[in-house]
Amino acid sequence: MDYQNLLENIYYQVKNQPNKGELATYIPELARINPDKFGISLQFLDGQSYNIGDAQEKFSIQSIAKVFAFSLAISLVGKEIFKRVGVEPSGNSFNSLVQLEYEKGVPRNPFINAGAIVVADILISNLKNPKEELLLFIQKAAGKKIEYNLQVAQSEKSTGFRNAALANMLKSYGNLENDVENVLDIYFHLCSISMTCEELATSFKYLCNGGKLITSDERLLTLSQTKRLNALMQTCGFYDEAGEFTYKVGLPGKSGVGGGIIALYPEKFTIAVWSPKLNVKGNSLRGMKVLEQFTTDSQLSIF
């Protein structure tokens, strides 16, 4: 199949449709992004690489970075992590206080905000320099230098009142071991990581390759951990639109309110899309369309 031609057809088909949706204006730095930015990167495990549009421009990957944090945490503590965070879809807003109280301080999954805050706490408890070591883990996956966007991190902090409330509620239930401010600092930096579509697609290849890096064969996760993480992305990776994504796209993946989406087909490929305008569920409007069209036209889905 001519994948470059396929991507180009999908790109221009989606680009020529009205660019509806809204930017994530509740994070000031994200409100400044050009809403017409649009890029796609398709990376096969055998080295084939296809890019179009703004695929080489860095953007804030936001909640997509929660996958890296969870990967590092489960590699450190194993299945013990599931004593503190669950594996069920939330069915509610990703920053719901009501659900966390209802669940008595145990977040539904590691990809909603409360779950990622618990994961940040686990990193602090198990690493000497969690902020630096998390970044090194991501750089290892990407195969190049990746950085925090300090302006975005500060923007997250200055408006992160609900996340602070979630962290304090977790602390009140005994599900945070460390100081709330320190945990939130890791969390806000995690959400500020910037990558291009190409870097993002490359960095997820270890989850496409049974937990091993393509470049060095180094294992970041066990086969079992990789299976579980991909399953979590399938069921919980798109806030409360995970069922819709599974139904329309048929790949495990993760979205972020910066407008990025990453999806993968185990042992075959990864695909990253960036378009900042979001639908009402907080997922990239164009990104969802691109991935649905891609799996339809290529007939490449896990189902």
Give the catalytic positions in this structure: 63, 66, 187, 239, 257
| Integer CA distances (angstroms), 169 to 89, 98, 166, 264, in order | 20, 10, 5, 34
| Integer CA distances (angstroms), 259 to 2, 40, 195, 255, 299, in order | 27, 12, 12, 7, 25
Task: Kindly report the backbone phi and psi dihedral angles of residue 288, in degrees, each rounded to the nearest multiple of 5, phi listed first.
Answer: -65, -40
| Residue from 190, 175, 157 nearest 67 by CA | 190
| Residue from 124, 231, 261, 265 nearest 187 by CA | 124
Q: How far apart are CA 75 and CA 228, in angstroms?
A: 12
Q: How far apart are CA 52 and CA 224, in angstroms?
A: 34
In contact, 268 and 45? CB cutoff 8 Å? yes
Element (H or E) spanning 167, and its range? helix 161-172
What is the amino acid identity at position 28?
P
Q: How far apart are CA 208 and CA 229, in angstroms?
A: 11
DSSP class per residue in 184-204: HHHHHHHHTEEE-HHHHHHHT
DSSP class per residue in 23-59: --TTSHHHHTS-TT--EEEEEETTS-EEEEESTTS-E
Q: How far apart are CA 207 and CA 211, in angstroms?
A: 5
